[in-house]
Amino acid sequence: MPMPPRSTPKLAVLIDSDDPGRVVDARTLAHDFGHPVHSISETPADIDVALAVTANRLELRVLRGDKALVGGHGTASDLSALDTTSGPGRSLSQPLLKAVGIKRRNPYRPAVLDATAGLGEDAWVLASVGCAVTACERNPITHALLADGLCRAMNIDPDTAARINLTPGDGVSYMDSIAGLSPAERPDVVYLDPMFPTGRKTAERKAMRVLRLISGDDADADRLLEAALRTATHRVVVKRPRLAPPLAGPPPAVTHKGKSLRFDVYPVSLNHEQL
């Protein structure tokens, strides 16, 4: 079971728009999530984290607590703003692409299950090069942020957005639900990026630290690897901080290192009867 955040923050939905349609959206989200809804001008002082419904997007705002996270721009899923083509963008995504098995001048594009989708950035990088991606996110607020980001990205890069199939709920349950399918119907690659382990200095971005406030530390991450190894037909890829131990289970066969991150690769060999 997912571990609750260390000290559960007080959450609310905030209406930050005069558009009557957005007010309805905010009320619907608040009802679905079981959180109170307030207009921005009447935000109670004890709210720690707010899901703000603005005129054009959903964003998470930290109102109290860790000073490094309070204020500034809200955290949103901003997929079409990701640089996936120029020099820095390409080098940033390169270890991920290598890890899932994509090679220069080779048209192979695996079907990927991203079982820990978060704000969808890695899913977007994979979809931008042509992979069909199924993306599972279990935290309902993060799922709403990602659904909103994907909807906005659809207007800007519809081809990439259409390759991502967003599925709410737990990645392990999803993998269990497709366990009976033939290998041809299962994902080639299962990609895992649970929250980085705490207690060590990692280059965790502000957006991930904000998500951690609402979704906790993903202390159950090891069960993802076990399910992924049963589900993928080619390989499992796990993103980790460069110096963190791998997830519990068999050791990775190969590791692709970036500056502060690494991608652990676990090849999967199917029994002959399964092929």
Ligand X SMILES: C[S@@+](CC[C@H](N)C(=O)[O-])C[C@H]1O[C@@H](n2cnc3c(N)ncnc32)[C@H](O)[C@@H]1O
Query: Which residues form the interface with ligand X (CB under 6 A)?
Result: 115-122, 136-139, 142, 170-172, 193-195, 208, 211, 215, 218, 224
Question: Residue 71 and residue 32: Cα distance in Å, rounded?
Answer: 26
- Of 25 and 218, which has the nearer Cβ to ligand X? 218
How far apart are CB 117 and ligand X at their closest, in Å?
A: 6
How far apart are CB 239 and ligand X at their closest, in Å?
A: 7
Residue whose entry in the numeric block shows the structure tokens 């120029």: 86
- Of 74 and 118, which has the nearer Cβ to ligand X? 118
**Nearest residue by C-beta to ligand X?**
118
60-63's contacts with Cβ under 8 Å and 24+ in sequence apart are 60/141, 60/145, 60/210, 60/211, 60/214, 61/14, 62/210, 62/213
- Tokens for 80? 């079409």
- Of 22 and 241, which has the nearer Cβ to ligand X? 241
How far apart are CB 168 and ligand X at their closest, in Å?
A: 9
- Of 16 and 121, which has the nearer Cβ to ligand X? 121
- Of 10 and 223, which has the nearer Cβ to ligand X? 223
- Of 138 and 163, which has the nearer Cβ to ligand X? 138
Handedness of CA 154, 157, 162, 166 (dihedral sign): negative
Question: Residue 99 and residue 213: Cα distance in Å, rounded?
Answer: 29
How far apart are CB 210 and ligand X at their closest, in Å?
A: 11
How far apart are CB 118 and ligand X at their closest, in Å?
A: 3
How far apart are CB 24 and ligand X at their closest, in Å?
A: 26
Whole-angstrom CA distances from 236 to 1, 99, 179, 188, 248 are: 21, 9, 15, 9, 14
Cα dihedral 242→247→253→254 (10° resolution): -20
